[in-house]
């Protein structure tokens, strides 16, 4: 969020601690979080349930897109035909970094083009 603050984007204070439970439960904690496998329509709907709009979606997604990810999160899209269009050149670049395999590899790869 420091980047957003520097660029003059929206910021807000967040109180520490949970208010919805007295004990930790990973299923309950992540039940309303968007999945990395959701399409845009699903993401918009998930954000709307939380009282957030498309502007919030873009802001929060933008703050989380720079970095590394496991091949398993996008491997299906670069090797299998899906109804989700992907640029062929981008897919080939990802394929060089993530060999086709049925097991999740712990290796992390940047999604950024260098």
Binding residues for substrate: 34
Number of structural domains (the chain) is 1
Which stretches within 15-106 are classed as H helix?
26-30, 40-49, 54-62, 75-79, 88-97
**Domain housing 95:** 68-110
CA dihedral 86, 91, 92, 94 (to 10 degrees): 170
Q: Would 45 be classed as within a structural domain?
A: no
Q: Would 73 be classed as within a structural domain?
A: yes
Q: How far apart are CA 70 and CA 72, in angstroms?
A: 5
Residue 114 has pLDDT above 50, yes or no: no
Q: Would 29 be classed as within a structural domain?
A: no
Binding residues for heme b: 64
Q: Would 74 be classed as within a structural domain?
A: yes
Evaluate whether 59 touches 4 at the Cβ level (below 8 Å): yes
Residue 66 pLDDT: 63
Binding residues: 34, 64-65
Binding residues for Ca(2+): 65
pLDDT digits (tens, 9 = 90+) for 8-57: 888 878 777 767 677 777 777 778 888 877 889 999 999 999 999 999 99
Q: Would 88 be classed as within a structural domain?
A: yes
pLDDT digits (tens, 9 = 90+) for 61-71: 876 666 677 78
Q: Determine if the pTM surpasses 0.75.
A: no
Q: Would 54 be classed as within a structural domain?
A: no
């Amino acid at each position: 969020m420091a980047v957003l603050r520097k660029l003059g984007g929206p910021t807000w204070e967040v109180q520490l601690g949970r208010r919805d439970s007295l004990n930790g439960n990973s299923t309950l904690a992540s039940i309303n979080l968007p999945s990395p496998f959701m399409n845009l329509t699903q993401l918009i709907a998930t954000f709307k349930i939380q009282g957030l709009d498309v502007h919030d979606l873009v802001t929060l997604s933008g703050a989380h897109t720079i970095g590394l990810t496991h091949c398993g999160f996008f491997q299906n899209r670069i090797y299998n035909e899906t109804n989700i269009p992907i640029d062929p050149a981008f897919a080939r670049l990802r394929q060089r970094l993530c060999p086709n395999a049925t097991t999740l590899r712990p290796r992390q790869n940047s999604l950024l083009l260098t």
